[in-house]
Amino acid sequence: MRSKRIDLIEQYIYKYKTISLDKLCEEFKMSKNTIRRDIDVLVNKGVIKKVYGGVTINTNKELLSFEERTIKNNFAKSSIAQECAQFVEDGDCIFIDSGTTTLNIVEYLKDKKNITIFTNNLNAIVQAIPYENIEIICLSGKLSRKTSSFTGLNASDVLSTYNLNKSFIACTGISLENGVTNTSPDEYKIKKAAVAKSSKCFLLVDSSKFDVVSLMTFCDIKDLDCIITDTYPPKKYIDYFNNYNIELVIANEENKK
């Protein structure tokens, strides 16, 4: 019960960016002592920080290294990537986003014919090199070692000149209130351009990212055509997907039951 309440408080703070303790007490109908204890949990997680009379989101929260994120939820990410490959058809031009989930898609494309991938994902580029059936178009920019991706002012401009059949996008969080969000401002424009230029947009998101809000919203959930995840999300998301005709794919067979 308390953990759910803390999650709701975290979402509320992300929505309003900065909020007073008095407002939190009023919203959640709790005493200041109780609110302070819950706030301490979020501060220890690093998601928020205290300011005079209240709290604010921690915009300096450090992103995990690429290697750490690759290990985290690896089975789920691999299952999601394998499911994504089922949607890629011979002759497709696709965008593969930065991130550890999207990275895994390439190994499942080796039997496809005449595939062109646009990507700023360094590891996806390296993985695709042995496969002559895959043409690689790299987005220009400066290499970020934290995300193992290229970012820069020109990367989104390059992407915007092409028409893509499909884009496979990763995110830091997804919520009904704030849409699809990401931590890195440098990657914001690239993700936004990919969504805008694709005939179909697929979001790859493991279950840990639902009800998570990050720094910047790069698209609304209703802009997506398909969401591929490892287990069923809360009912409110399923209702939303049905309302906007968004396909939901559960990648892990055991969680389809």
Check whether residue 153 and residue 242 sit in a common domain. Answer: yes
Percent of the chain with pLDDT over 70: 89
Q: Which two tokens stand for residue 120?
A: 């700023």
Answer whether residue 47 shows pLDDT above 90: no
Check whether residue 31 and residue 72 sit in a common domain. Answer: no
Mean pLDDT of all residues in 86-112: 91
Check whether residue 138 and residue 15 sit in a common domain. Answer: no
What pLDDT, on a 0 to 100 scale, did the predictor assign at position 72?
46
Check whether residue 121 and residue 171 sit in a common domain. Answer: yes
Mean pLDDT of all residues in 17-26: 86
Mean of per-residue pLDDT scores for the chain: 85
**Which 3 state secondary structure label does DSSP give 123?**
helix
What pLDDT, on a 0 to 100 scale, did the predictor assign at position 244?
97
What pLDDT, on a 0 to 100 scale, did the predictor assign at position 243?
97
Which residue, 57, 78, 94, sits at the end of a domain? 57
pLDDT in tens, 144-173: 777 788 887 678 888 889 999 999 999 989
Mean pLDDT of all residues in 6-11: 81
**Which 3 state secondary structure label does DSSP give 166?**
strand
Percent of the chain with pLDDT over 90: 42
What residues have CB less than 8 Å from 46, skipping those under 6 apart?
58, 61, 62
- Domain hosting 144: range is 66-256
Check whether residue 177 and residue 95 sit in a common domain. Answer: yes
Check whether residue 48 and residue 163 sit in a common domain. Answer: no
- End-to-end distance of the chain based on CA atoms, in angstroms? 26
Check whether residue 26 and residue 150 sit in a common domain. Answer: no
pLDDT band at 78 (very low <50, low <70, confident <90, very high): confident
What residues have CB less than 8 Å from 171, skipping those under 6 apart?
180, 181, 182, 191, 203, 205, 209, 214, 218
Check whether residue 119 and residue 50 sit in a common domain. Answer: no
Answer whether residue 74 shows pLDDT above 70: no
pLDDT in tens, 119-149: 999 989 999 999 999 999 999 788 877 778 8
Check whether residue 234 and residue 201 sit in a common domain. Answer: yes
Check whether residue 143 and residue 234 sit in a common domain. Answer: yes
Answer whether residue 108 shows pLDDT above 50: yes
**Domains identified in the chain, total number:** 2
Which residue, 18, 37, 57, sits at the end of a domain? 57
Check whether residue 23 and residue 119 sit in a common domain. Answer: no
What residues have CB less than 8 Å from 65, skipping those under 6 apart?
146
Residue 177, CA distances (Å) to 78, 161, 213 in order = 28, 31, 9
Mean pLDDT of all residues in 30-43: 88
Q: What is the CATH number of the domain that holds 28?
A: 1.10.10
What pLDDT, on a 0 to 100 scale, did the predictor assign at position 2?
77
Check whether residue 22 and residue 76 sit in a common domain. Answer: no
Q: What is the dihedral of CA 223, 224, 225, 230, to 10 degrees?
A: -160
Q: What is the CATH number of the domain that holds 118?
A: 3.40.50.1360
What pLDDT, on a 0 to 100 scale, did the predictor assign at position 255?
46
Which residue, 34, 57, 80, sits at the end of a domain? 57
pLDDT in tens, 205-249: 988 889 888 888 999 999 999 999 988 999 999 999 999 999 999
Burial class (CB within 10 angstroms; exposed 0-12, middle 13-18, buried 19+) of 186: buried
What pLDDT, on a 0 to 100 scale, did the predictor assign at position 117?
96
Task: Kindly tell me the number of DSSP H helices and DSSP E strands found in the chain.
Answer: 9, 15
What pLDDT, on a 0 to 100 scale, did the predictor assign at position 59?
56
